[in-house]
Amino acid sequence: MKFRRIILLLVVCSFISSVFGDNRRFGKITKEELRAKYSKIDSTASAEILYEKGSLELDITGRSFVTRYKVHRIIKIYKKDAYKLGDISISYDENQERFTKFKACTYNLVGNKIVKTKVRKNEILKDNVIKDFSKRKVAMRDVKVGSIIEIEYCLRMPIKYSYRDWYFQRYYPVKYSEFTLRIPDIFTFHKDLKGYVPIDIKRESSSLAGSSIYENKYIFVGKNISAFKPEPNLMCPEDYISKLDFSLEAYRLYSETTRISPDWDSTCRNLRMDSNFGQVYANKNIIKKTLETIITDDMSEEVKVKKIFEFVRDNISWNKEFEICDDKSFRKILKDKVSNSGGKNLILIALYKAAGFVCNPVLLSTRYNGMNLYNTPDLHKYNNTIASLTTSKKHYYLDTYDKYSSMDMIDYYDLGNAVVVSEKNHQFVELKNKRMSKKMIFVNAEINENDELKGDYTSLYYHFDAASYRRSYVDKETRQEKLEKKYENFEIDDLEVLNTDKNSGVIQEKFKFVYDSDEEEDEDTDEFRFNSILGLDSYTNDFVSEKRIYPIDFDYPKTLQYSITLKYPDTYTLSNVPEKYGTCTPDRSILYSYSCNKLKGGVKINFIFKIGKIRYFVNEYPAIKAIQESLEKKIKELIVLKKNN
């Protein structure tokens, strides 16, 4: 029995060592690794992370608390399109973080000899990014197919609230990834493993020499991790990639607790006092003078609101960056006539306040930036500020970031959780669509005496669909080229587009067409064949995979509606008509219906497709997939008109 226990103990120790025991020194690259032609995890991969080990250590043994952040990474290059991995770039806070170690090397196998190309000091460059943040950059030399790139560095910094995320999963396969947290038990902290990859976790505890304090050691290990592959309709992949999010909350020393992580009360208080955020309103003279050029006392409340919004939207250009504020002053922004999203909207708020309205900033993370669930006020995760305006008759959420912004809706980027920062407190809100976007298409077509199928095609775009149209519209010629590519069977003429020069309202697009079948037919063909929804030939189904790993994101709720009237002379007979059909998800939030009804000398086609929510979970995927497959099949069904003998 005792012998069996020893054997069992050895087996357990061997298992723990195999999971948590990979420890490589810099420079220990093998010829076998250099000879490898492909990744065993994914033979099609252009590169592979062979080894990645990091650690975060909180050291309290010196005169002040210190954090050491270490990274050791080994990358194998299999194809040319992965050469970009040789361009190393590490962001850091120049005021707080200092490199205590940095080395990098490229390895190649020449004959049977390993050739090393080390990075020289003069090849390490610094690039200032914004404010105190910089990048340490290196372009690795001699990177080619078969090369291995190795980098190791260490950053020293004070104890702080938020640290870098550790990514176990990347856009290339990862053979081994390990991250260690070493935290004295005087600290309380928050750790959050995100993503869908299983990660092994081991915890150890030991006393710090000469003290009653214990150090907790957490080791996280992932092995043979497939590359992260975004699925269709995934707005922010960063929300789902497997990573460790870590932050400190407080520490307790000598019976006294010191808070490290901010709370929303203190964060909003600091924002109100910040020179680039809350103090934008402080320069009352320039605000007053600017306001006098925009509105007059005899204007109605509604007109004042509109005039101020249009002034900021139209007179200050967006620099294509989303930020919560601008480091330039009110005066400087007005002079340069350019700012980021937050800078523009803070000026909007300042002007509304000066005009006597109740208006407050709203912090949010755009949907492309990632979800934010309020759990901690980490301002680095927020990237936009919009306005919350209350008048005597109405409440608005306003965003002036680009020239197509309108007062009747905020952009779909902004939908989701947000924080209203008022002068004395804050409030959590969820920004939602009040109206569903819509696209309506009306087609009137007929077969004439020359046996040509000709018609008029009219499209109406509302709300988000209209805004998207305006942002993509260049000119009529470019638009016609896009339409001809989209509607392959149409010869398009007399294109007319209305309201693209306005910032809001319905877009109307009209053109005439002649139907030209792409089927190889004789010139004297006696049939017209076209899909069940004339003009919807370009539909593609993105939901073809059997399983879905991640939730489904749609840009915004929308409705697509077709109304088609097709007339034909009595020299033709309708020989095939698709059957009426409709289907929906269990909650009826996604649905479509189709009908093709016979008329005297023609047919009337009605089609409606609706998506009612912006997010669907994985368990809803089978129903969505079934609807898309059914719709794809329905569109391929043919309406056939046969000429009488």
CATH of the domain at 229: 2.60.40.3140
Q: Looking at the structure, do residues 255 and 268 belong to the same domain, yes or no?
A: no
Q: Measure the CA–CA gap between 594 and 636, rounded to whole angstroms.
A: 13
Residue 95, domain member (yes or no) = yes
Q: Are 58 and 65 in contact (CB under 8 A)?
A: yes
Question: pLDDT by residue (tens digit) across 167-221?
Answer: 999 999 999 999 999 999 999 888 889 999 999 999 998 888 767 888 999 999 9
Residue 8, domain member (yes or no) = no
Asked whether the predicted pLDDT for residue 5 surpasses 50, the reply is no
Assign 1 a pLDDT band (cuts: 50, 70, 90): very low
Q: Looking at the structure, do residues 361 and 460 belong to the same domain, yes or no?
A: no
Residue 7, domain member (yes or no) = no
Residue 487: the pLDDT is 86
Mean pLDDT of the chain: 89
Q: Looking at the structure, do residues 419 and 441 belong to the same domain, yes or no?
A: no
Q: Looking at the structure, do residues 228 and 299 belong to the same domain, yes or no?
A: no
Assign 131 a pLDDT band (cuts: 50, 70, 90): low
Question: pLDDT by residue (tens digit) across 467-505?
Answer: 999 999 999 999 999 998 888 888 999 999 999 988 888
Q: Looking at the structure, do residues 367 and 503 belong to the same domain, yes or no?
A: no
Residue 15, domain member (yes or no) = no
Residue 20: the pLDDT is 56
Q: Looking at the structure, do residues 289 and 406 belong to the same domain, yes or no?
A: yes
Residue 12, domain member (yes or no) = no
Helix/strand/coil (H/E/C) assignment for every residue in 73-128:
EEEEECCHHHHHHHEEEEEEECCCCEEEEEEEEEEEEECCEEEEEECCHHHCEEEE
Q: Looking at the structure, do residues 255 and 279 belong to the same domain, yes or no?
A: no
CATH of the domain at 270: 3.10.620.30
**Residue 23: what are its φ and ψ, rounded to 5°?**
-140, 110
Percent of the chain beyond pLDDT 90? 63
For the ranges 20-29, 59-68, 344-353, 458-467, the lowest mean pLDDT is seen at 20-29
Asked whether the predicted pLDDT for residue 2 surpasses 50, the reply is no
Residue 449, domain member (yes or no) = yes
Q: Looking at the structure, do residues 305 and 277 belong to the same domain, yes or no?
A: yes
Question: pLDDT by residue (tens digit) across 593-638?
Answer: 999 999 888 999 999 999 999 999 999 999 999 999 999 999 999 9
- Global pTM value: 0.84
CATH of the domain at 485: 2.60.120.1130
Question: pLDDT by residue (tens digit) across 404-456?
Answer: 888 888 888 898 889 999 888 899 999 987 778 999 999 999 988 888 889 99
Asked whether the predicted pLDDT for residue 3 surpasses 50, the reply is no
Using only C-alpha atoms, what is the Rg of the chain? 31
Residue 19, domain member (yes or no) = no
Q: Looking at the structure, do residues 507 and 599 belong to the same domain, yes or no?
A: yes
Q: Looking at the structure, do residues 224 and 346 belong to the same domain, yes or no?
A: no
Which tops the pLDDT comparison, 246 or 105? 105
Domain that holds residue 111: 26-259
Q: Measure the CA–CA gap between 327 and 319, rounded to whole angstroms.
A: 13
Decide which of 431, 459, 480 is a domain's last residue. Answer: 431
**For residue 110, which of 27, 31, 28, 46 has the smallest C-alpha distance?**
31
Q: Measure the CA–CA gap between 14 and 264, rounded to whole angstroms.
A: 47
Decide which of 404, 431, 458 is a domain's last residue. Answer: 431
Residue 58, domain member (yes or no) = yes
Q: Looking at the structure, do residues 426 and 441 belong to the same domain, yes or no?
A: no
Decide which of 226, 259, 292 is a domain's last residue. Answer: 259
For residue 66, give the amino acid letter.
V
Q: Looking at the structure, do residues 418 and 399 belong to the same domain, yes or no?
A: yes
Residue 14: the pLDDT is 41
- Give the number of domains in the chain: 3
* Residue 223 DSSP SS3: strand
Residue 408: the pLDDT is 84
Residue 531: the pLDDT is 87
